[in-house]
Structure 1
């Protein structure tokens, strides 16, 4: 029951993406949550197998192991992590928390999972609910620590390579997609799309994926329908010991996402982490082994995955849906609005946005949703933005 074709070398071509979502297992689940929180203007929902609340690890391996997997030492409460998120949103290092309200979030924790303590997964549910997300939580399936699929090669209670389990007739993948999308068509019996293998170096800061514990190759499953029509995008993040260099295409082949991709017009992006010093298991960075900025929009792995999603059209083709951190203070020579944009409260807001002096969130707050009009000076006063000239200019 091969569920993925042999890969073909290619690039991440732009498609008509109507919605962008993220999912993951274990370290990939923590990473999925980080991406959803930090880039909530881009990701519209998340499906997470066995992980904890945003930045539970607090940039500490000891905390990750003893408080966010086991519960041997105290951990931050959901309320504390929620306030941390608000503080970071106010500073612009993650997107506004208001974006999470109403987002569909699907969570899973198997009753046989002894890798992540149930209380930690429960914290994730509380965290999302407190921000107003629409949470569905499957915590009654007798699964071990694994992604669960109707064609998984391992027994339900297993916690062993390649960490893809089968639990009778249970189909958590269908549950997840139905919750995220509102409805889902039955999975295809045979996949007919293509698996594109691409060089992740084109999307990683500095062009060297190995330097941030990411593999050289990444993959994207593209159904035939997505070559000509609108599709959703699902970013699927593997867990530790589950990267391509170790288990090859096990998750892509047995995870059961591609079967639903074919019948539900969904591209599946499979970014790949790998090993490096401090990360012998090939985990995604959710405790700071590679960068202290790991849970922020400026985190190197976060940036790389988002670059891949945008290359495929995530966030809308050609429109400034990015809320990324400012990276340059050099203004462009042109102030032409983005394609399809016709009016705006202030041209200054647009000019400051394209010069990366303000985030897209701030641009929208100023009324800058649709383009270009007459300019007036824009100044920063404390944490706000105004036309008062007695404040410090940007």
Structure 2
């Protein structure tokens, strides 16, 4: 690579942040991960995917954070997804609980007993015009059936925010829909709050001076699709991973967290806005948490680049045989060195 180009990159980003090698095809590394500390979160359709991954693979995933999400198994079509997003009175947690228990009985998801002591964070903004704020309580009711004690479920429903990833230092006005990247600066660090809750309440909180001293780099998602290309299921060729400086040498055990972007927040559309400015990396840097950022793309059946929570990849989308969940679990297993 040309030395002048490298110097220009160094000047642009400075020595404290590493740049991304786009389209590199690099394999995802395996890390020294505490396999009891694997968690997931997401915004919007990413929250829907996060709850799917948590419920499907609850044996290995111990916590979940949902920002402007919907309950597990709420939709099986585009039509039913609209009710899940906008009509809390039509969402029955009891019915979803029964569907979940039935799925566990036939082996489509892990036994629900694995969720019993998990930690759950649920955020819904008061001004959300995409997901009815009342949906948040439906998610809490669903998880309340499986999780004990109730203090393991944290809800935040009192912030006057629009639909988006909520930060304390990046994005547009809190109460306005930011369609360019769906990141809102609300003076509230949702990434820290959810990670802190998931991991027991003792995480160090970033300040304005906290820097991302680790490495943010791409990895090949194609490696996790064995008989197809990622694009067949509306996933990108590359995903991204933030490796904190404390985890790079692999001499200490680190936590692993997967952060799912929302619709129209995939890298091809908003570049690194979510993977660099969503609030996760600074928390990760201070607390030795590796962050995986899987990526979607838009397609004919998925024009907004959403994660599949309503069946566009097939009827098994919310099971351990779903195309996206299967590939995503392979990523987790590789990063966490799960045999």
Q: TM-score, normalised by structure 1?
A: 0.76
Q: How many residues align?
A: 312
1:186 Cα offset (Å):
2.5
Contact 1:52 1:122 in 2 (8 A): no
Contact 1:148 1:166 in 2 (8 A): yes
Hey, what does 1:347 align to over in structure 2? Answer: none
Hey, what does 2:232 align to over in structure 1? Answer: 211
1:236–1:318 distance in 2 versus 1, CA, 3 Å: closer
3-state SS in 1 of match to 2:85:
coil
Distance 2:318 2:226 in 1: 16
For structure 2, which runs of at least 5 residues remain unmatched after alignment? 1-11
Moved more, 299-308 or 181-190: 181-190
Distance 1:173 1:318 in 2: 25
| The structure with more radius of gyration | 1
* Residue of structure 2 aligned with 1:276, choices 263, 282, 299: 299
3-state SS in 2 of match to 1:32:
helix
Hey, what does 1:386 align to over in structure 2? Answer: none
Distance 1:287 1:75 in 2: 16
Hey, what does 1:112 align to over in structure 2? Answer: 127
1:68 Cα offset (Å):
0.8
Hey, what does 2:282 align to over in structure 1? Answer: 259
* Residue of structure 2 aligned with 1:235, choices 258, 266, 270: 258
1:208 Cα offset (Å):
0.2
1:164 Cα offset (Å):
1.0
Distance 2:192 2:260 in 1: 17
1:173 Cα offset (Å):
2.0
Hey, what does 1:142 align to over in structure 2? Answer: 160
Question: What whole-Å deviation, never above 9, does each CA across 1:252-293 have from its counterpart, x for those lacking one?
Answer: 121111111111001000000111112100000000011111
1:11 Cα offset (Å):
2.2
Moved more, 14-23 or 151-160: 151-160
- List aligned pairs for 1:60-139, cutoff 5 A: 60-65=77-82, 67-71=83-87, 75-133=90-148, 134-139=152-157
Question: What whole-Å deviation, never above 9, does each CA across 1:8-45 have from its counterpart, x for those lacking one?
Answer: 34321111211110000000000000000000011110
Question: What whole-Å deviation, never above 9, does each CA across 1:144-183 have from its counterpart, x for those lacking one?
Answer: 0001011222111122221111113x22222111111111
1:4–1:93 distance in 2 versus 1, CA, 3 Å: farther
Hey, what does 1:200 align to over in structure 2? Answer: 221
Hey, what does 2:27 align to over in structure 1? Answer: 11
3-state SS in 2 of match to 1:225:
coil
Query: Is 1:24 matched with 2:42?
Result: yes
Contact 1:110 1:144 in 2 (8 A): yes
* Residue of structure 1 aligned with 2:198, choices 158, 165, 180: 180
3-state SS in 2 of match to 1:137:
strand
CA RMSD after TM alignment: 1.7
Q: TM-score, normalised by structure 2?
A: 0.88
1:205 Cα offset (Å):
4.2
Hey, what does 1:52 align to over in structure 2? Answer: 70
Contact 1:156 1:167 in 2 (8 A): yes
1:205–1:34 distance in 2 versus 1, CA, 3 Å: farther
User: Which one has more relative contact order, counting CA pairs under 8 Å at least 6 apart?
Assistant: 2
Hey, what does 2:269 align to over in structure 1? Answer: 246
